[in-house]
Amino acid sequence: MSLKDQISDDMKTAMRAKETERLGTIRLLLAAIKQREVDDRVTLDDAAITAVIDKMIKQRKDSISQFEAAARTDLADKEKAELAVLAAYMPEQLSPDAIAAEVQAAVAATGAAGPQDMGKVMGVLKPKLAGKADMTAVSAQVKAALAK
């Protein structure tokens, strides 16, 4: 079953169970997927859908930090609930040790010698780790590995 089919089935289940918050988040996700399909005139595969979900997760995290800075816990709690629903559709996240191993392998494979080679290393890592790891954490590990 594709990720899009799973999301559609979850929407129907949420409708039947009258889970309004979950249903709203799933509808937002399906609307974002549909928007991307219409804009690009393609049918998205699971990897592209994961990228859409990842973008929505980043938006929620940013909103949570903004709402907490403004002492709006009611809105922050709503965003956290949406974040939990969206995170359920992401593949299992890699551990920091697994990310470090991938970074070391990519540095060795590209022959990167310093910070100027960061683009090469990230170019190798991004397709492998997209959706499985927070790319800002990966970037930080690459910087640390190349600074040695």
Q: Which residues contact 11 (CB under 8 A, 6 or more apart)?
A: 23, 26, 27, 30
Residues 34 and 44: their CA atoms lie apart, in Å, by 9
Instruction: With H, G, I as helix, E, B as strand and everything else as coil, classify residue 114.
Output: coil
Q: Which domains does the chain have, with CATH numbers?
A: 3-87 (1.10.1510.10), 96-147 (1.10.10.410)
Return phi, psi of residue 99, to 5°: -65, -45
Cα gap 118→141, rounded to integer Å: 11
Q: How far apart are the first and last CA of the chain?
A: 45
- pLDDT tens, residue order, the chain (148 aa): 899 999 999 999 999 999 999 999 999 999 999 999 999 999 999 989 998 999 999 999 999 999 999 999 999 999 999 999 999 999 888 888 889 899 999 988 888 888 888 898 999 998 888 878 888 889 989 998 888 7
Q: Which of 24, 18, 12, 34 has the alpha carbon at shortest distance from 82? A: 24
Model's pTM, two decimal places? Answer: 0.79
